[in-house]
């Protein structure tokens, strides 16, 4: 095996037995495996985090059904390359009846109009399309393409599977590091698995980096510090425009709403470590102060605004302390959504009823004509019946409860 090829590539699963961590998709009794046993291959979209096995699964499928496998990345290729691949696939099918699987990595990088280029060739059976994406296909994949594909969701590999992959690489003498005497001290192996965030590529390539740095040693014993040094910084799956961004801020808000201070601080820390804009976090806290705390503790809005101002003036890294202060305060505060609910209920009525006439009683009458039309007639500054200030059609509505 060519050792110039990265370890993660060398150790890529070559059989279904070697493919781990996605049994819900690729297990023996899965829908996909049963379809492949009957030589049926639908067009598919694989949605999952980096290093979860999307490319490997596509290759295994191609081998299983004896189809030609063509891979390219939407990052470096365009519609012109798609047309070239399709033309070759058409000729291949006409000459020997052999199918072509076109695997498009990072398919979300194609614009939705560019994705249209696949449709006619999927429809006429020239290609079997498999797209891979780390982004939610509901938002990033053309609806026409999505409707012609089965979506399979791959999960980040858990620590157990990551440890298994590391062990396999250390034992494999042909493709892995089995010809070297490599071992881990205490829990360093589990640390590597954990810090890799479910990404097999990161785990294996980091392992190789640590080993190559000590390849002249007769015995290589790797410890926690070796792992930390090789990783430098724990890589966080976090795209400011993608799912992890929205998932994390959602978890953050819901934790504060539930009064779960520890969870709120944890999700705050995740966003800070991933480099999230502190003003984005602080802005959501200002909204939260009125939406969820409201009248239960009106000073919450003052605190949230001061946190926002501090973030503007100070910036990272110190403003993280201000954010933490504000989060603990907001999460600990009593909650009262009545003002928010009242606003939304009133807005719903306005959308349904439009601009209802305002009662003339509370209209100003600066001209004689307006007085003659009874503008302001019977106005009371402090009426006993406050419902008279609402339009007649909504006289008995109660928004703030």
Please give the pLDDT value at position 239: 60
Structure tokens at 214: 């000590």
Q: What is the mean pLDDT of the chain?
A: 90
Q: How far is CA 159 from the centre of its chain?
A: 20
> Residue 152: helix, strand or coil by DSSP?
strand
151: left (phi over 0), alpha (psi -120 to 50) or beta: beta
pLDDT in tens, 185-221: 989 999 999 888 889 999 999 999 999 888 888 899 9
Please give the pLDDT value at position 1: 52
- Going from the N-terminus, what domains does the chain have, and what CATH number goes with each? 22-153 (3.40.50.300), 159-231 (1.10.8.60), 243-332 (1.20.272.10), 356-394 (no CATH)
* Percentage of residues in the chain having pLDDT higher than 90: 62
| Nearest CA among 45, 44, 56 for reference residue 13 | 56
Mean pLDDT calculated for residue range 292-315: 95
Q: Characterize the bridge pairing of strands 100-105 and 68-73.
A: parallel
| Nearest CA among 157, 138, 152 for reference residue 41 | 152
Answer for the pair 311, 352: CB distance below 8 angstroms, yes or no.
no
Please give the pLDDT value at position 237: 57
Q: Which helix (H) or strand (E) holds 151?
A: strand 150-153
pLDDT band at 335 (very low <50, low <70, confident <90, very high): very high
Whole-structure pTM value = 0.69
């Amino acid at each position: 095996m060519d050792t110039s090829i990265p370890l993660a590539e060398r150790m890529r699963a070559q059989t279904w037995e070697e493919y781990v961590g996605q049994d819900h998709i690729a297990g023996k009794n899965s829908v996909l495996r049963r379809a492949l046993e009957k030589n049926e291959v639908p067009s598919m979209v694989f949605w999952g985090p980096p290093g979860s096995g999307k490319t490997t699964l596509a290759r295994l499928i191609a081998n299983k059904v004896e189809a030609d496998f063509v891979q390219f990345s939407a990052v470096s290729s365009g519609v012109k390359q798609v047309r070239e691949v399709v033309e070759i696939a058409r000729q291949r099918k006409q000459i020997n009846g052999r199918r072509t699987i076109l695997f498009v990595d990072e398919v979300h990088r194609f614009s939705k109009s560019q994705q249209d280029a696949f449709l006619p060739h999927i429809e006429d059976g020239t290609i079997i399309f498999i797209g891979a994406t780390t982004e939610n296909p509901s938002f990033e994949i053309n609806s026409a393409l999505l409707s012609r594909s089965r979506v399979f969701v791959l999960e980040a590999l858990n620590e157990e599977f990551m440890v298994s992959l590391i062990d396999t690489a250390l034992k494999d003498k042909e493709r892995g590091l089995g010809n070297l005497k490599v071992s881990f001290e205490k829990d360093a192996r589990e640390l590597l698995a954990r810090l890799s965030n479910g990404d097999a590529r990161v785990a294996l390539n980091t392992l190789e980096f640590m080993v190559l740095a000590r390849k002249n040693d007769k015995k290589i014993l790797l410890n926690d510090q070796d792992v930390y040094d090789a990783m430098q910084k724990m890589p966080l799956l976090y795209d400011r425009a993608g799912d992890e961004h929205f998932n994390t801020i959602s978890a953050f808000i819901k934790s504060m709403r539930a009064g779960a201070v520890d969870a709120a601080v944890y999700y705050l820390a995740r966003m800070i470590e991933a480099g999230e804009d502190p003003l984005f976090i602080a802005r959501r806290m200002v909204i939260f102060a009125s939406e969820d705390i409201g009248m239960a503790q009106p000073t919450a809005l003052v605190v949230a605004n001061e946190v926002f101002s501090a973030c503007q003036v100070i910036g990272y890294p110190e403003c993280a302390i201000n954010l933490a202060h504000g989060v603990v305060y907001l999460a600990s505060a009593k909650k009262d959504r009545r003002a928010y609910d009242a606003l939304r209920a009133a807005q719903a009525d306005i959308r349904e009823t439009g601009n209802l006439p305002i009662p003339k009683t509370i209209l100003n009458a600066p001209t004689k004509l307006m007085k003659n039309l009874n503008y302001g007639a019977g106005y009371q500054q402090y009426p006993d019946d406050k419902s008279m200030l609402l339009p007649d059609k909504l006289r008995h509505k109660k928004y703030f409860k």
